[in-house]
Amino acid sequence: MSDTPQVLRLPKSQPVLRLDSVVKRYGERTVLDGISFDVAEREVIAVIGPSGSGKSTLLRTVNGLEPIQGGSIRLDGEEITAKGTDWSKIRARVGMVFQSYELFPHLDVMGNLLLAPVRVAHTDKAEARERAMRWLERVGLADRADAYPKELSGGQKQRIAIVRALMMQPEVLLLDEITASLDPEMVREVLDVVLELAEEGMTMLIVTHEMAFARAIADRVLFLDGGKIVEQGEPEAFFTHPQTERAQRFLDTFSFTKAREPQGLAR
């Protein structure tokens, strides 16, 4: 196994990420209303909640795609939301995968994978290519290295997008609804990759609508509503016995048993 790429692990005592009272506003509207939590090394956190609850925005504040209006975010103890942060440097350490894959359509798979390592990390091209090939083998796409994004299925594209983020050997990986655009039969192949990463100790912050997946992968679940963390805890406890009424109502929308009451839609 020594020649298969592994998730980068650093010995650390402090949390990888620390969010402290993060506030995000769009004009008058408050999207994130004082969010605080830590992400420990090797921890996998699933962020769930109704649409519009601020989940994706939360993820995007962590790598500076959304500037925040209050509070602070620390990466390895260093405040990254301070003025004068070089976001390019931070982003090179924080991987992100988007719902819509966002592979670069004008570059082939290898071009997509090499762009950041070569241009940003200044890795030797041959070395980066070798690493890319090993990752591609791991996700079962070694034969697609020369393909262009438009020649790939959604599931393939998303696996490539994950590998593209991993090529920078990030300390933490942000996954934003990465299966929401996929056909049901392709969800599995993508989630399997993520499960493997979790087993290897990749630190991850995952926004998802796949409740079964969140339950299987997360060390901790954060339930967001109205820009606040309404509830958090161990996945088993959260999914079987949510403590708040709002979380209960949210989880109910995923089960169909209640709709079968006699006064249902029939007639």
Binding site for another protein (CB under 8 A): 63, 65, 87-89, 91-96, 98-100, 102, 104-106, 115-116, 119-121, 147, 150-154, 164-165, 168, 179-184, 187
- Terminus-to-terminus CA distance in the chain, angstroms? 61
Minimum CB–partner distance for residue 186 and another protein (Å) = 8
**Closer to another protein by Cβ: residue 182 or 198:** 182
Smallest distance, another protein to C-beta of residue 176, A: 10
Coil, helix or strand for 74?
strand
Q: Considering the complex, what minimum distance in angstroms separates the CB of residue 13 from another protein?
A: 26
Strands (E), the chain: 17-26, 29-39, 44-48, 70-75, 78-79, 94-97, 172-176, 204-207, 220-225, 228-233
Residue 206 or 230 with smaller CB distance to another protein = 206
**By C-beta, is 170 or 242 nearer to another protein?**
170
Instruction: Please count the CA atoms within 13 angstroms of the CA of 91 that sit on its side-chain side.
Output: 16
Q: Which is nearer to another protein, 167 or 221 (CB)?
A: 167
Listed in sequence order, the residues at least 6 apart from 109 whose beta carbon sits closer than 8 Å to its beta carbon are: 103, 136, 141, 144, 145, 146, 147, 148, 149, 152, 160
CB of 142 to another protein, least distance (A): 14
26 vs 87, beta carbon nearer another protein: 87
Q: Give bridge partners of residue 220 from the DSSP assignment.
A: 45
CB of 236 to another protein, least distance (A): 26
